[in-house]
Amino acid sequence: MPSRMIVSRELADFLKMIAHPDRLRMIEELRLGEKDVSSIAAALSLPATRVSQHLAQLRAHRLVDERRAGRNHFYRLSHPHLAAWIVDALQFIDVRNRLAEGDHIDSARALWTAQSRNTSH
Amino acid sequence: MPSRMIVSRELADFLKMIAHPDRLRMIEELRLGEKDVSSIAAALSLPATRVSQHLAQLRAHRLVDERRAGRNHFYRLSHPHLAAWIVDALQFIDVRNRLAEGDHIDSARALWTAQSRNTSH
DNA sequence: TGCAAACCTGCGAAGATATGCAGATAATGG
DNA sequence: CCATTATCTGCATATCTTCGCAGGTTTGCA
C-alpha cells in the first residue's frame, strides 16, 4: 500500500478545505472562541446560507465542532492552533506586491490577526 | 479598501496552489535541495509532462526557483521552510482513521519526511 | 397551535481544475 | 545539419467547486 500517497491525499484534502477566502476568514473569526452562524455572517458580511454551507464542509472534515443552544448553533475550531498555523503561511506569500507600498509581511500579519473592530475588513 | 479580503484571497490562492497530492509530494521531494524534472518524475512515478505542468504553476506563484544547466532544468523551493510548515499540518488531520491501526500522527510525519529510499512510496 | 427565527440541505448553472496528447523549443552529440 | 533528449506549451475533455435559491427542520414563544 502506498501509505505515502494516502498521506499526501489527506493533506491535499485538508488544504483544499481551508483554501477558500471565506473559510479562511471564518477560521480566523473563530480564533478566539466559539460563535454562532449569524454572528459569523454579520462579522464577515456574508449571506448566512453561504456561511452555513462552509461550516457544513468544515464540520464534515472535523475542523470545527458544533454546540447547539436553543436555535443557535455555535461553532468552534477543533484544533485551536489551526488559526496560528495559517497565519504562519503569510511568510510564503509576496503580499508586498499586492498591498499598498510600505506594507510588508508583518503588517499583513497584524492586519490579519487584528480584532474585527480594529480592522478595515 | 478591504485589505483583509485581499490577504485572505492571497492566502487562499497560495493554499490552492499546494493543495494537490502531486504538488505536495513534489515539494517534499525538493525539501533537501534542487532536482531536475526527470528525477522528480522518476522518484514519484509520475509522467514528466505532468510534473512539468505542476512546476510551471509553482513557478508562476514563485514557490520554486529554476536553474537551467544544459538541457536539464533544476528546481528548488523558494522558501526552504515551506516543506516543514506543511508537515506541521499533519497535526490537524485524523490520519489515524485512514491508515492501518496503530499508526498515528508521529508515524505519518516520519513516513512523510523519510528519505525516498526508505519509504514504501 | 401557529408563527417566526436560525439553520440546514438539495439542486442546477457557471466557473475553475486536472490531465492526457500533440506539437513546439532548446541543448547535445554525432 | 540532423537526431535525440529533456522540457515546455496549447488544447480539449472530464471532473470538481462555488453560490444563490427554494424548500425543509428545529426551537422559542405567544
The domains found in chain A, sorted by start residue, are 3-118 (1.10.10.10)
Q: Does B98 touch chain A (CB under 8 A)?
A: yes
Q: What is the separation of C-alpha B77 from the centre of its chain, rounded to a whole number of angstroms?
A: 9
Q: Say if residue A90's pLDDT is above 90.
A: yes
**Residue B8 to residue A18, Cβ atoms within 8 A:** no
pLDDT recorded at residue B100: 52
pLDDT recorded at residue B95: 57
CA B9 → C1' D16, Å?
Answer: 20
pLDDT recorded at residue B91: 93
Q: How many angstroms away from the CA of B61 is the closest CA of chain A?
A: 9
Q: Residue A75 belongs to what H/E stretch?
A: strand A72-77
**Biggest distance spanned by C-alpha atoms of chain B:** 51
**Residue B111 to residue A4, Cβ atoms within 8 A:** yes
CA B49 → C1' C23, Å?
Answer: 13
Low-confidence ranges of chain B (pLDDT < 70): 1, 95-105, 114-121
pLDDT recorded at residue A110: 74
Residue B22 Cβ under 7 A from any strand C atom: yes
The answer to whether B27 and B83 have CB atoms below 8 angstroms apart is yes
- For residues A74 and A58, give the distance between their C-alpha atoms in angstroms, rounded to a whole number: 13
Task: Give the mean model confidence (pLDDT) for residues A85-92.
Answer: 95
User: Which residue is listed with cell 510600505?
Assistant: A102
pLDDT recorded at residue B115: 55
DSSP result, B63-93 = SEEEEEETTEEEEEESSTTHHHHHHHGGGGS
Q: What is the DSSP letter of A118?
A: G
Q: Say if residue A70's pLDDT is above 50.
A: yes
Residues paired with A73 in a beta bridge: A68
With CA of B16 and C1' of each nucleotide, the nearest comes out as C17
Mean pLDDT of chain A: 87
Q: What number of C-beta contacts closer than 8 Å exist between A and B? A: 128
